[in-house]
Each structure stands twice: as C-alpha cells, then as structure tokens.
Amino acid sequence: MEPKAFFVSLFEAAVAAADPEKTIRRFLPKRPKGRTIVIGAGKGSAQMARALEQAWEGPLEGVVVTRYGYGTPCERIEIIEAAHPVPDEAGLSASRRLFDAVKGLTADDLVVALISGGGSALLPAPPEGMALADEIAVNEALLASGAPISAMNTIRKHLSTIKGGRLALAAHPAKVVSLVVSDIPGDNPAYVASGPTVPDAGSRTDALEIVRNYGLRLPEAALRHLETEEAAAPLPGDPRFAGNEVHVIASAAVSLEAAAAEAKRQGIAAVILSDAIEGEAREVAGVHAAIAREVAMRDRPFAKPVLLLSGGETTVTIRGKGGRGGRNSEFLLAFANAIEGVEGIHGFAADTDGIDGSQDNAGAFADFATAARMRAAGIDPKAALARNDAWTAFDAIGDLFVPGPTGTNVNDLRAILVR
C-alpha cells in the first residue's frame, strides 16, 4: 500500500460522505399521500435543496433560506438569502415564509426540513415584545459568555418563536423529516441551527439559571420574556413529534467514519481521536506526533499498523512575514518535524473543501523523511515553520495535495498512518 494513494482514497471517501448530492438519496423519506413541502435554513441548505429536488420523485414545493451569496439555482424550491452571522430583516421575513409554508398541512402531508450550520442566525424570530435588535443583542451576549453550545441553545430556543422544535410544531399534524448537515461537535441535531424542527430538553428554569451562572447581560425585553414566557418550548417526548424523523446526513464525524471505513476496507485498522480538535495547528500537530511516536515505539495506545484520524478546525497564528500555506499545511510541517526519523510514520492533513487557506492546495503529505527531503531541497523545515511557510516547503519536495475545490466542507481531515 502506497501511503499517498491511501491518503487520497481516505480524502475522497470523507468528501463523498459530506456531499449532499450523494448522501441525501440514502435518507429520502417515503413519498406521502399528500403534499411534500421543503423548508430549510443554513449555509449548506440551498445545495441540499438542489440535491433533494434532483433525487425526489414526485411533486414538491418549498422555501429555503441561506446566507447571502450561498444561493444555488433550484427549479421547484425557492431559495431566499439573508444575513449571517448577524441576522437582518430578510431573515425575519424568511422565518415568516417558512411558517407560511407549513401552515394548514394535514397528516397526509410530508415536510422535509433541510437544516445546516448557520441556520440559527438566518431564522431570527423574536417573540412578541422583543425586537430584532434584542435577538441580536442576546446572541452577542451568548457568544461573549463562553457558555457551551448546549447552554446557548437553551437560551436561544426560549427567546424565539421558531427554534427548539417550534417550526415542527407549526407543521403538525404533517410528518416532519429533518435532514441535518452538522457543524457541531457531537452532532446533536437539536443544536444545529438551534433545532427549528428538533426539540431538546432545556426548560425555562434552566434558561434562567444559565443567565445567572454566566452573568449574561440580556436586553430587558429578553429577560422579561424569559421570566414570564407562557408558550413553553416543546419537549422531546411531545406526542406531536412521534411520527417525525431526524437524520444527520453529513458531518465531520460522518466523514471521519467514512475515511475509517475506507481504511478498514484496505485492511488498515482505524481509530477516530476526535471530530472536533481545535487549537494552534503546530501545537495540535505536536500532540498528534507524540501519540504517533508512542504507537511506533511501543504499540500503544493502539497496536501497529493503525490509522489515526481526527477532524475539527485548527488555527494559525501568523509569526513570520511572506509565508504561504494554510492551517493543514502548517499542521503537517510541524508534524513532519516532530516525527523526523521515526520510521513507519506517515501523515496527511487537508481541508475537506479542497482549499487550505489562500493557496491552491487542500493540504499535503508527510512522513518520517519529509524534513530530510526538505533540507536536501535547500529548505530548512524548522525555519519554514517559524515563518509560516509550509506551502513553500511542501511545494519544494512535490508533496502538496491539490484536488481542487470539492464543493463540500466538514472542516479538516487529519490522517496519520503508523505501520
């Protein structure tokens, strides 16, 4: 098995698993007796709408909101655009359009909800007494608080007429099938886009406790609403949701699982360390390298041969001037330096959207001899890392990975083979 070809096959498997055109067919609901209404919100929802249109046999209509510039022409589903990450009036109008679309349905009708990351901002729907500005202020307070997403979600759904399953409630008694592209660690569909069609369990009391614990500074109107809210958010066990379905059709985890399955198909055991590793690329690389070395030297915590996979999105703090390369190239250069000379270790890192930063590559390939090859090519790999010039270093030895844009994005794919 040739490591480069192996890594490319993993990347292709990960990208295919994140492509709605390919994955949506596996999750198509049964054609209903009545009408089929499509609704949706999120950065990827227009692309999902087109994929659904192409795959769906039978009549279909609906409306989906995405971010300005993210629209994709559809034939039967109307695509509208609104502001993200700070909501605007177009979003308010989009929320109303989605409610209108599911109004007056019967138990014979089907609603397909296409939900993806960013949908929360695209569907502002402040309750009576709160203005759009209040909803924006709530969101700013949440983002500044450092509260975990579960806590933010609890607050948001109690200050909205659409989030936390309320849109699904409006569609009752129609069956609602939610197809979700997750950008959330853990892939809890109730947290993606604040779950307009998926209730979760937080209560109004929980919400008030979160406000206290995180010292949230909410607008007066928002606080008043939280304290007096009459129409409680629906609960997960609500019988009106009994016939509904929720499927996560793409996510970082789904893509990592696809890469792991491809590795296993080729006879290499694979483990997923995490789908949500964040942090400074070179530091994250150091930890990956330490684990890879432990495997190489001592066959633990996993026995060789093994593929270590991780996802998530690292960051790069620019230190040098004039350096070229994105976070995956930088990760891999730091990794190459850290595993130099440890035979049997091979690494790969790439952005699943096909473009790593500002260059044309998605990532690069590395192994225990990468640093030596760079030196032979006249590049000092440690100095290149110091000036954030990973692209140049990998380009010099012909180890860039340049697949071109993939049209999908489930963050980074990092793969380390130890054999």
> Residues in the site for its own copies, rule: CB under 8 A?
146, 148, 150-151, 185-186, 213-215, 253, 271-280, 283-284, 286-288, 290-291, 293-294, 297-298, 300-302, 310, 312, 337, 340-341, 372, 375-376, 382
Check whether the bond before 173 is cis (ω within 30° of 0).
Answer: yes
According to DSSP, residue 303 is labeled P
Nearer to its own copies, 91 or 185 (CB): 185
Least gap, CB of 253 to its own copies (angstroms): 8
Cβ pair 77, 49 in contact under 8 A: yes
Q: Which residue has the tokens 């709160």?
A: 130
Query: Do the bridges between strand 110-116 and strand 175-181 make them parallel or antiparallel, or are there none, so unpaired?
Result: parallel
Rounded Cα–Cα distance for residues 31 and 122 (Å): 28
CB of 113 to its own copies, least distance (A): 24
Which residue lies nearer to its own copies by CB, 272 or 402? 272
CB 39 within 8 A of CB 167: yes
Min dist. Cβ of residue 59 to its own copies (A): 39
Q: How far is the CB of 67 from its own copies (least distance, A)?
A: 27
In this complex, which beta carbon is closest to its own copies, that of residue 62 or of residue 381? 381
State the Cα angle at 398 between 392 and 399, rounded to 5°: 85
Tokens linked to 371: 């640093």
Half-sphere exposure of 298 (CA within 13 A, CB side): 6
Nearest distance from residue 60's CB to its own copies, in Å? 34
* Residue 266 vs 274, nearer CB to its own copies: 274
Nearest to its own copies of 132, 342 (CB atom): 342
Q: Around 229, how many Cα atoms within 13 Å sit in the side-chain half-sphere?
A: 24
* In the complex, minimum distance from the CB of residue 187 to its own copies, in angstroms, rounded to a whole number: 9
Do residues 167 and 119 touch, judged by C-beta distance below 8 A? no
Q: Which is nearer to its own copies, 11 or 331 (CB)?
A: 331
The set of residues, in sequence order, having a beta carbon less than 8 Å from that of 227 and lying 6+ positions away, is: 208
Q: Counting beta carbons within 10 angstroms of the beta carbon of residue 293, is it exposed (0 to 12), middle (13 to 18) or buried (19 or more)?
A: middle
**Of 8 and 272, CB closest to its own copies:** 272
Shortest gap between Cβ of 189 and its own copies (angstroms)? 14
